[in-house]
Amino acid sequence: MTETTYDRPVHASGTFTIGGDLEVHRLGFGAMRITGKGIWGDPPDRDEAKRVLRRAVELGVDLIDTADSYGPYVSEDLIREALHPYPEGLVIATKGGFTRQGPDQWSIVGRAPYLRQSLEMSLRRLGVEQIDLYQLHRFDELVPMEESLGELKALQDEGKIRHIGLSEVDVPTLEAASKLVDVVSVQNLYNLVDRGSEDVLDWATDHNVAFIPWYPLKASRLSSTSGPLADASQAHGATPSQLALAWLLRRSPVVLPIPGTGSVAHLEENLAAAGIELTDEEFAALG
């Protein structure tokens, strides 16, 4: 039977090749929300969380973004429970560089021994010998960039990391980091409401670096019942959230949105956004 975008709607989002050798469909899944409140502890329903992960893959997702700090550890554990042995072509990106003290509490640690320990434990939890994309969650202002990235480069040379990415960085930091390692992705806050990383996105587009917007959906503007987003939603028979994801996909060919959820129904709604094509007028009005 011929596979169609109806069977796997994510395929309508097109593809991007991370680091020159990891081709993924552009609409992925962020696995932060399959944890408990405050990104702490187990989700209310572990079985539903695993159903979400399996359904995401069924619908064509081949990029799942997580981190050891989500739970902590809960998200990575659930990914392995739900999906291991992993289907061919599934890219699991994870991150290190945070410690957790409680719900909604995060502390940056960029020391080399800690990053090595984090990477080794992520390998064990995910059940893999190499992380396809390992992203530094934040730079630690108390630790030289050369130390943090030097350790990730050493782990890459050992074959434990395939590609290195960064999160929440500005252009000067990207430029400096790129002199030390091959940066293949950047993950910054970016959505229809928060555009503070426009220059970073432009840099990523110019350098063919994957731009992974975290928090791709923001409720304040998306809940409006009037305006260009509401108009486009009505025209396409789509939700405002779906239109927001469609806008991100249209914004640049390097953008890889990773909407997350703990609900299968919400997941299916989000991923259907891959098939929405905004007109030039709609894109301009939303921008």
- The answer to whether 52 and 261 have CB atoms below 8 angstroms apart is yes
> How distant, in Å, are the alpha carbons of 71, 142, 144, 163, 183 from that of 176?
31, 17, 12, 17, 10
CA 49 from chain center: how many Å? 17
- The answer to whether 112 and 151 have CB atoms below 8 angstroms apart is yes
Q: Active-site residue 86, yes or no? A: no
Catalytic option among 6, 70, 114, 190:
70
Q: Active-site residue numbers?
A: 70
